[in-house]
């Protein structure tokens, strides 16, 4: 197995965890509104890619997708996990997944800024 640098993904997960904890505290005291619902929907949309997954462009969600081989069971971070499981190292979308998590973090930080 070649060296795969997971640092970008680990850093993105750490930043997202921090933003999610802050957003959770902020949303607990926030007054619900249509704008807030729209903003939260944008967070979910940030988890998709118009290009889809490798060899499955119709699956656009980058956080979870059905298993490539069986179509059953959920695979988390499928762009990374499935490539590693199938030993297709050049398809491991570590940076792309980290970039997606960065966009999710940005959306959460925008929500936090609106509340505070």
Q: What is the pLDDT of residues 63-112, one digit of tens each?
A: 999 887 777 788 899 999 999 999 999 989 999 999 999 999 999 999 99
Domain ranges of the chain: 7-115
Please say if the pLDDT value at position 28 is more than 90.
Answer: no
Beta strands in 10-107 (DSSP E): 64-66, 74-76
Please say if the pLDDT value at position 17 is more than 90.
Answer: yes
Q: Exposed/middle/buried for 109, CB within 10 Å: 0-12, 13-18, 19+?
A: middle
- Is domain 7-115 in CATH 1.20.930.40, yes or no? yes
Q: What is the pLDDT of residues 39-61, one digit of tens each?
A: 899 999 999 999 999 888 999 99
């Amino acid at each position: 197995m070649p060296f795969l640098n997971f640092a970008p993904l680990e850093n993105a997960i750490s930043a997202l965890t921090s933003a999610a904890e802050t957003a959770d505290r902020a949303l607990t005291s926030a007054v619900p509104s249509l704008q807030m619902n729209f903003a939260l929907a944008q967070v979910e949309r940030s988890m998709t890619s118009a290009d889809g997954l490798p060899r499955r462009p119709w699956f656009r969600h980058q956080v979870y997708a059905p298993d490539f081989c069986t179509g059953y069971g959920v695979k988390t971070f499928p762009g990374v996990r499935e490539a590693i499981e199938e030993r297709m190292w050049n398809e491991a979308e570590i940076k792309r997944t980290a970039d997606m998590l960065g966009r999710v973090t940005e959306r959460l930080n925008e929500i936090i800024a609106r509340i505070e």
